């Protein structure tokens, strides 16, 4: 297997795994990842192959960063599933109590006490630092949002990164658990995370990376891997670069026009976060399909379709894209779910709404089973090109 140093080099085909944010719905991603891990083990005839062995870069946003970091230190999907279920039950089970006067200020800032989250992250990642070249098996990208400057920070472990070793708030000395906690600091759910970054202020406040265009981090990670401002500079090309993107389930926006016209200010305010996150997700999906001749492309809208005739490429026949791109996700929609999975007892809208909640830890097993069932349909051996075999 390749060492971390070999994976970072801009030589040979490169493989990127990008994991969406979505709270407890990360359990759905794990169902997909189980299928992916099994397929890769069969392809390489190695029952012990890990996703960190295969992928040269693994990253994620929010809950996706938790799973990504666990994969990057060499955990199997089954190991992560066990830890994730325990973590979900603990972190989304301890809300701030109204009668604790000493926490009254926090009560109006966040829904959940983050002590359980911090403790569980420390249990999983221990004292591992972002710059640990032995414990971290692959390139790792943790997408967080710096609240005080409103900028996206893709924290990564490349030794040649501009902020990796500056002598003042080095990225290499940041504990993994703290980076992940910063990425998962979802506003209204958890308080922001402060991290020492050096400079004039010394500390920066971070919130959930999903409060940006990178809740689906695939495009952000592609930029980290290829833009000259970052140290990776991996070459583009359908045979050179593969991005596998895994979602946490996506709701379909269905609002009757008459209901929209009657909405009041509070109604609009409550819907805006979901609207913005859906916009970002669709925009990222459009760009990634535009860059690729994707085997998993789906209709963006009825005007542009699936972009199969609009591939950005230097191929004169427009058949090969600038990347190989695979996207796996489930639409949490009554009609779609009942059509695809044909349950003995059809889903109701209230059941779908319950599954879509980002903080209902009781749904862990249901979400994992859903992702596993979707993975059985979507994650195919034919999706993994021979040129990307290690």
- Output the DSSP codes for 315-359: -TTS-S-SBEEEEE--EE-HHHHHHHH--SSPPPHHHHHHHH-SS
Q: Is the pTM for the entire model greater than 0.85?
A: yes
Give percent of the chain with pLDDT exceeding 90.
58
Which residues does the chain have with pLDDT short of 70?
92-113, 168-169, 185-202, 207-209, 253-274, 318
Annotated catalytic residue 106: no
Q: What are phi and psi of 110, to 5 degrees?
A: -150, 150
- pLDDT value, residue 185: 63
- pLDDT value, residue 40: 98
Helix or strand (DSSP H, E) at 253: none
- pLDDT value, residue 107: 43
Which residues, 6 or more positions from 134, have their beta carbon under 8 angstroms from its beta carbon? none
C-alpha–C-alpha distance, residues 132 and 73, integer Å: 10
Annotated catalytic residue 208: yes
Other CB atoms within 10 Å distance of the CB of residue 329: 24
Contact 199, 187 (CB under 8 A): no
SS3 category, 285: helix
Catalytic residue (one of 56, 208, 333, 359): 208
Catalytic residue (one of 29, 52, 62, 294): 62
């Amino acid at each position: 297997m390749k060492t971390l140093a070999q994976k970072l080099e801009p030589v040979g085909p490169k493989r990127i795994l990008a994991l969406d944010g979505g709270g407890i719905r990360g359990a759905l991603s794990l169902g997909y990842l189980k299928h992916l891990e099994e397929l890769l083990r069969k392809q390489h005839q190695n029952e012990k192959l890990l996703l960190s062995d295969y992928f040269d870069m693994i990253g994620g946003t929010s809950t996706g960063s938790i799973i990504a970091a666990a994969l990057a230190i060499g955990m199997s999907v089954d190991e992560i599933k066990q830890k994730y279920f325990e973590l979900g039950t603990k972190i989304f089970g301890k809300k701030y109590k109204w009668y604790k006067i000493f926490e009254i200020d926090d009560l109006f800032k966040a829904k959940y006490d983050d002590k359980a989250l911090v403790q569980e992250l420390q249990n999983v990642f221990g004292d591992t630092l972002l710059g640990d070249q032995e414990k971290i098996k692959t390139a790792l990208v943790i997408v967080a949002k710096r609240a005080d400057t409103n900028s996206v920070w893709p924290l990564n472990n490349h030794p040649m990164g501009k902020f990796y070793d500056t002598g003042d708030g080095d990225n290499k000395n940041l504990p993994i658990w703290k980076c992940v906690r910063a990425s998962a600091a979802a506003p209204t759910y958890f308080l922001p995370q402060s991290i020492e970054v050096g400079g004039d202020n010394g500390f920066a406040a971070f919130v959930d990376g999903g409060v940006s265009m990178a809740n689906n981090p695939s495009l952000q990670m592609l930029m980290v891997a290829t833009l000259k401002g970052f140290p990776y500079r991996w070459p583009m090309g359908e045979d050179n670069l593969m991005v596998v993107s895994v979602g946490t389930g996506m709701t379909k926006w269905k609002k009757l026009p008459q209901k929209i016209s009657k909405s009041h200010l509070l109604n609009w305010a409550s819907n805006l976060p979901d609207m913005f996150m859906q916009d970002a997700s669709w925009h990222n999906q459009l760009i990634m399909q535009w860059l690729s001749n994707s085997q998993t492309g789906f209709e963006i809208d009825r005007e542009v379709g699936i972009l199969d005739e609009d591939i950005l490429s230097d191929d004169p026949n427009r058949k090969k894209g600038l990347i190989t791109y695979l996207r796996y996700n489930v639409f949490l929609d009554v009609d779609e779910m009942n059509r695809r999975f044909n349950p003995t007892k059809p889903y109701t809208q209230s059941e779908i709404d319950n599954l879509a909640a980002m903080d209902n830890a009781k749904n862990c097993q249901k979400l994992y089973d859903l992702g596993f069932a979707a993975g059985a349909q979507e994650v195919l051996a034919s999706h993994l090109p021979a040129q990307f075999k290690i």
